[in-house]
Amino acid sequence: MKQPNNGLHGAPVEHAVAIIGAGPIGIELAVCLKRAGVDYIHLDANQIAHTITWWPRNTSFFSTTERLAIAGAPIQNNHQQRITGEEYIAYLRGVVEQFDLPIQTYEPVTALARQAEGFLITTQPLAGTRHYRARRVVLAIGDMHFPHRLNIPGEDLPHVAHYFRDPHDYFRRRVLIVGGKNSAVEAALRCWRGGAQVTISYRRPWFDEQRVKHWLLPDVQAQIEAGTIRFLPSTAPVEITRTHVVLAPTHDGQPTDGPTLVHETDFVLLATGFRGDQSLLEMAGVQLEGENCVPVYDPATMETNVPGLYLAGTVAAGVQQRYVLFIENSHEHVGKITQAVTGQWPSALGDVRNRNYELGLDAIEAN
């Protein structure tokens, strides 16, 4: 494959479009632009699908395969069921190979500046600073760069984790899981079945049936009622030590005055969610609105208030306290951006045509 002009020396390399981010939606956009013959450059700070690589091992998607497939390339497997993160990464590698997509991985964008006729992009790979110019830029950077920190004493102790890696880590040990949404509930069930002694601390009195998938909630409820998983409702950690966690009572989900509980444990897993890095949006001048810092954009084209700067995927939702954008309902972003750039809707989005269908948010959350 011909090596791209990498912008390491001399004047910045110029392109019609720059895609920043190589998750599923960024890759799908790259396929559409390549099919249309658009001159583009594709950059990612890490490897493709980096966010999925830190998922717990063997974690299945909540979405079914036809909703995860991109660019008309179906996901096939031998069981016709939901696939794991590892299987999806392998699928995405296959899409990149199939369409021979030139993605410059491990090249983080450190500066993004609007200029008279486009954007100046500065990157910092290991080889040294590079510069590019692009008439249009698409940010497909996702929204899960950092964990939501509790900012309490002891949060950085070595036995405390914001990322759930493998149930085996907690085999025959005590683990306190903090949280009450899908990730916390699934981690609790998997750790218990993996031989751990599990306790859940949740700031609400009970799990929200709209926030926990329907096949997980009856399972965790049965274990709590049987006493195999201990549940500490309406509690929140206020201090973590090497031997125990201090839990305070909560009101409306927030710690309040009242007697605290000292819970002894070997490990603490803070399943408190994640937030996106919005520094590139701020750097480029994108207007962010409201408590969730939602970027301003035209829903018909995905173009932000900064002319020529577009959003694709979950980055468009800002800091999602309740998820409204997923892979499965972001395919249309790719179509809108492709049409804005080329004047034509792409020939293939999502899964193959005879299995492709549209779902509203309510239907997605119910499945």
Residue 346 sits in which domain range?
13-145+276-366
pLDDT single digits (tens) 108-130 = 999 999 998 899 999 999 999 99
- 288 & 352 share domain: yes
| 9 has a pLDDT exceeding 80 | no
Apex CA 362: angle with CA 361 and CA 363, to 5°? 90
Q: What is the pLDDT of residue 287?
A: 97
The answer to which of 16-25, 227-236, 344-353 has the lowest mean pLDDT is 344-353
User: 8 in a domain, yes or no?
Assistant: no
CA gap 18, 16 in Å, rounded: 7
Instruction: Classify the C-alpha dihedral 250-255-260-264 as positive or negative.
Output: positive
User: 265 in a domain, yes or no?
Assistant: yes
- 141 & 154 share domain: no
- 174 & 233 share domain: yes
Per the document, the length of the chain is 367
- 56 & 85 share domain: yes
Q: What is the pLDDT of residue 103?
A: 98
CA gap 243, 49 in Å, rounded: 36
- 137 & 160 share domain: no
Using the structure block, give the residue that is written with the tokens 């709590």: 224
CA gap 82, 63 in Å, rounded: 7
- 178 & 133 share domain: no
- 354 & 237 share domain: no
- 157 & 226 share domain: yes
Show which of 240, 270, 300 is a domain's final residue: 270
Total count of domains within the chain: 2
Residue 326 — pLDDT band, cuts 50, 70, 90?
Answer: confident
User: 4 in a domain, yes or no?
Assistant: no
Using the structure block, give the residue that is written with the tokens 């500066």: 111
**pTM of this prediction?**
0.89
Cβ within 8 Å of residue 291, ≥6 positions away: 321
Q: What is the pLDDT of residue 323?
A: 73
CA gap 193, 186 in Å, rounded: 11
- 101 & 130 share domain: yes
CA gap 57, 223 in Å, rounded: 22
pLDDT single digits (tens) 59-86 = 888 888 999 999 999 999 999 899 999 9
User: 152 in a domain, yes or no?
Assistant: yes
Show which of 270, 288, 322 is a domain's final residue: 270
7 or 336, which is more confident? 336
Instruction: Classify the C-alpha dihedral 278-238-232-166 as positive or negative.
Output: positive
Show which of 202, 236, 270 is a domain's final residue: 270
Q: What is the pLDDT of residue 280?
A: 95
| 367 has a pLDDT exceeding 50 | no
- 63 & 177 share domain: no
Percent of the chain residues topping a pLDDT of 70: 93
CATH number at residue 190: 3.50.50.60
**What is residue 178's DSSP assignment?**
E
117 burial class (0-12, 13-18, 19+ CB within 10 angstroms)?
Answer: exposed
Q: What is the pLDDT of residue 59?
A: 86
